[in-house]
Every structure is written in structure tokens, then in C-alpha cells.
């Protein structure tokens, strides 16, 4: 099912829509116009493949995987369009080859490599703090 169709479904389930997270957007929506249309639906926008630098998506080889630099450019675009309160990021460490011990990028990749690059690319510390701390806290808080 397309992410937009899932979000439309979730919007009908108010009040759950603000707690919906659409993950793996880094390999799902590449067109900026479509991404902004999707962002308007109100879910959190999760870029969770940081550190995954592949030629293509293994389950659909026609999908070119973005690099971490591409992901940062997309985040910067979303922030400039006013969506910094809806962005969450992570790295999809689910196999041992992604751990530092086995040659992978490890759990510190975002803090050690991505955050400095985000700052270098003009993303403010305030926006980074929202993405890394404020947004996950708000998403995970239930009343």
C-alpha cells in the first residue's frame, strides 16, 4: 500500500493520526512535490536508513538508494518547508554487520557523523535538537 493511502486511512482514525510514523521514507518517496504532499497528511516523517549506503534497494533493484548526503538534503528541504516538527531519524541497525565490531557504521553514526554534516549543511542546532529529542519525545508521549 502506498504511504499516502495508509496516512489517509489513519486520518480517519482520529486521534491516532498525529502519532503515526511513516518509516523508510528514504527509499519510498523521491519526488520532492510528492514528498511535500505526503507531509501535508500529518504523520511523522521517518528517515531511518542513515548509514545504509547501497547501490539499490535489495528487494526492488529498480530503486536507487539515497546516500546519507541525499538524506540530509531532503531533511533540509523539509525543514525549509516547515516540517521540522514532524521529522524523526534513526539508523536501521538490525544485523550484526552494521555494528562497528563487524565493520558497520554502529549506533554512534548519527551523533558522530550525521549531526556534524547537518550543521555543515546549514541545519540549525535547534532543528537538530527537535529532530533528535523533541519530536521522538512528543511522538512517544501518550496522555
pLDDT band at 3; cut points 50, 70, 90? low
Kindly state the cell numbers that stand for 50.
Answer: 542513515
pLDDT band at 27; cut points 50, 70, 90? confident
Per-residue pLDDT reduced to its tens digit, 48-83: 989 877 766 666 677 778 899 999 999 999 999 999
pLDDT higher than 80, residue 123: yes
pTM equals 0.84
- Is 38:7 a contact under the CB 8 Å cutoff? yes
- Is 5:28 a contact under the CB 8 Å cutoff? no
Provide the strand spans (E) within the chain.
Answer: 21-22, 44-47, 56-57, 60-64, 87-89
What is 124-141 written as a DSSP string? -HHHHHIIIIIHHHHHH-
The C-alpha atoms of residue 32 and residue 78 are separated, in whole angstroms, by 9
9 vs 24, which has greater pLDDT? Answer: 24
The mean pLDDT value of the chain amounts to: 86
> Which pLDDT score is estimated for 10?
61
pLDDT higher than 50, residue 1: no
Amino acid at each position: 500500500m502506498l504511504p499516502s493511502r495508509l496516512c489517509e486511512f489513519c486520518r480517519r482514525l482520529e486521534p491516532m493520526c498525529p502519532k503515526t510514523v511513516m518509516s523508510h521514507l528514504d527509499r519510498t518517496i523521491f519526488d520532492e512535490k510528492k514528498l511535500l504532499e505526503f507531509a501535508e497528511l500529518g504523520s511523522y516523517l521517518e528517515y531511518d536508513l542513515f548509514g545504509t549506503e547501497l547501490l539499490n534497494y535489495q528487494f526492488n533493484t529498480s530503486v536507487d538508494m539515497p546516500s546519507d548526503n541525499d538524506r540530509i538534503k531532503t531533511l533540509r528541504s523539509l525543514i525549509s518547508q516547515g516540517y521540522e516538527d514532524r521529522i524523526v531519524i534513526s539508523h536501521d541497525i538490525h544485523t550484526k554487520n552494521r555494528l562497528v565490531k563487524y565493520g558497520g557504521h554502529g549506533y554512534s553514526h548519527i551523533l558522530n557523523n550525521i549531526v556534524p554534516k547537518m550543521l555543515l549543511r546549514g541545519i540549525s542546532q535547534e532543528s537538530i535538537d527537535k529532530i533528535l529529542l523533541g519530536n521522538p519525545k512528543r511522538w512517544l508521549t501518550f496522555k
